[in-house]
């Protein structure tokens, strides 16, 4: 089946009361890991590429790998999503290439660092919604800013400085007409989210629940949702890595989020950890090896295991065959008839 719109996947997830993981990719092995995990668990899937991923892969390489994924895994509803688009132009170029969903992250200025104004965010997101919906492409927006900068995203603040204001969230949805809303509740990108297991003081699940009460029909998105499991940290450190002790978002909190309107869960760091640990292990145990396949295969397998586990934990497992894909043309048509979507 062709790449499908994210709106359809999230609408189905809302009906079924489950969440869908959105996993970042940069190369063939990561795409293969996700598609194999999706097949094994019978999951619909969101594959996402950041601006960095697009430039690393020269864009078209990544796009054609995704077309190969749809050919080889025809039973899996698969979305290709732009993660953290920083401008209308970036979103436009993704839509032109064939992405079926884009994030216009207008919570930050185009430098990807400076928190923007509400007015800037509404204007940029609304513009992307108009361009995208005319083609049946889904739009995710963000209100409030995540923390963390070590991987090039976020405002360089801790996760608590720019939490989403529920009143603003309501206005933002009304003014933009977006499909999915990313909110800031204390998480950050990368491995160093919390210095100890998060509590209600550091991970604001109450805030999420309030936003869901105010916007019960809006698909919420949790960024910075890697759990940074201790076992993956330990493998890296056991084989010569130097990760400092750290905590991520516990899976139970994500599951609580899913019971309260979260439909898309962004995970990148956990997969990076799994890949790096597997490669370090081969390098350490077999220093004589130099065939890249000898370490890329275990790396791919390690990522597949993490992704399959998250698919099961988020509840998307078993849902790949629930629905027939709706074409982007049909989605575009539906956006013109507001009651139908």
Residues that bind ligand 13P (CB under 6 A): 24, 83-84, 189-190, 223-226, 266-269
Within 10 A of 185 (CB to CB), how many other CB atoms are there? 27
Residue 226 binding target from Zn ion, ligand 13P, ligand G3H, none, CB below 5 to 8 Å by type = ligand 13P
Residue 152 binding target from ligand G3H, Zn ion, ligand 13P, none, CB below 5 to 8 Å by type = ligand G3H
Distances in whole angstroms, Cα of residue 173 to Cα of each of 121, 125, 182, 210, 245:
11, 10, 11, 15, 38
Residue 189 binds to ligand G3H (criterion: CB under 6 A): yes
- Give yes or no for a contact between 33 and 73, defined as CB atoms under 8 angstroms apart: no
C-alpha Rg value of the chain to the nearest Å: 19
Rounded Cα distance between 152 and 158, Å, is 14
Minimum CB–partner distance for residue 112 and ligand G3H (Å): 9
Rank residues 20 and 76 by Cβ distance to Zn ion and give the closer one. Answer: 20
Rank residues 144 and 334 by Cβ distance to ligand 13P and give the closer one. Answer: 144
Q: Which 3 state secondary structure label does DSSP give 192?
A: coil
- Give yes or no for a contact between 108 and 151, defined as CB atoms under 8 angstroms apart: no
Rank residues 154 and 315 by Cβ distance to ligand 13P and give the closer one. Answer: 154
- Give yes or no for a contact between 121 and 172, defined as CB atoms under 8 angstroms apart: yes
Which one, of 169, 172, 102, lies nearest residue 131 by Cα? 102
Residue 153 binds to ligand G3H (criterion: CB under 6 A): yes
Which region, judged by CB under 5 A, interacts with Zn ion, from 43-51, 92-100, 233-241, 258-266?
A: 258-266
Q: Which of 51, 126, 223, 263 contacts Zn ion by CB under 5 A?
A: 223
Minimum CB–partner distance for residue 104 and Zn ion (Å): 13
Residue spans of alpha helices (H) in the chain: 6-16, 28-41, 51-56, 60-72, 88-97, 118-133, 166-176, 205-214, 230-238, 251-258, 269-285, 292-314, 328-335
Q: Which of 83, 105, 179, 268 is catalytic?
A: 83
DSSP class of residue 338? G
Rank residues 29 and 83 by Cβ distance to Zn ion and give the closer one. Answer: 83
Rounded Cα distance between 329 and 136, Å, is 6
Minimum CB–partner distance for residue 185 and ligand 13P (Å): 12
Residue 267 binding target from Zn ion, ligand G3H, ligand 13P, none, CB below 5 to 8 Å by type = ligand 13P
Q: Which of 40, 59, 151, 158 contacts ligand G3H by CB under 6 A?
A: 151
Minimum CB–partner distance for residue 194 and ligand 13P (Å): 11
Positions annotated as catalytic residues are 83
Give me the residues that bind ligand G3H (CB under 6 A), please. 24, 50, 52-53, 83-84, 151-153, 189, 268
């Amino acid at each position: 089946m062709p790449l499908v719109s994210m709106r359809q996947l999230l609408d189905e997830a809302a009906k079924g009361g489950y969440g869908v993981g959105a996993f970042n990719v940069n190369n063939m092995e990561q795409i293969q890991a996700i598609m194999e995990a999706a097949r094994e668990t019978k999951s619909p899937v969101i594959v996402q590429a950041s601006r960095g991923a697009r430039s690393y892969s020269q864009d078209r390489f990544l796009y054609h790998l995704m077309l190969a994924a749809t050919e080889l895994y025809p039973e899996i509803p698969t979305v290709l999503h732009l993660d953290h688009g920083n401008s209308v132009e970036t979103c436009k170029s993704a839509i032109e290439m064939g992405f079926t969903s884009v994030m216009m992250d207008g919570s930050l200025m185009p430098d990807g660092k400076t928190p923007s104004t509400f007015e800037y965010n509404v204007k940029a997101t609304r513009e992307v919604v108009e361009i995208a919906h005319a083609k049946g492409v889904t739009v995710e927006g963000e209100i409030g800013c995540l923390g963390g900068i070590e991987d090039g995203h976020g405002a360089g603040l801790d996760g608590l400085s720019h939490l989403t204001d529920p009143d603003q969230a309501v206005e933002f949805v009304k003014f933009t007409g977006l499909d999915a809303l990313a909110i800031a509740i204390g998480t950050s990108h990368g491995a160093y989210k919390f210095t100890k297991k998060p509590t209600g003081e550091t991970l604001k699940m109450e805030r999420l629940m309030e936003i869901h009460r105010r916007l019960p029909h809006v698909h919420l998105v949790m960024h910075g949702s890697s759990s940074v499991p201790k076992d993956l940290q330990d493998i890296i450190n056991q084989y010569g890595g130097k990760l400092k002790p750290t905590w991520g978002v516990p899976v139970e909190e994500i599951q609580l989020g899913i019971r309260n309107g979260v439909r898309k869960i962004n995970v990148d760091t956990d997969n990076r950890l799994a890949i790096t640990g597997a490669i370090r292990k081969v390098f350490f145990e077999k220093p004589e090896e130099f065939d890249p396949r000898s370490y890329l295969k275990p790396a791919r397998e390690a990522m597949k295991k993490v992704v399959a586990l998250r698919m099961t934990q988020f509840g998307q497992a078993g849902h790949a065959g629930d629905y027939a894909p709706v074409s982007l043309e049909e989605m575009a048509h539906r956006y013109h008839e507001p009651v139908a979507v």
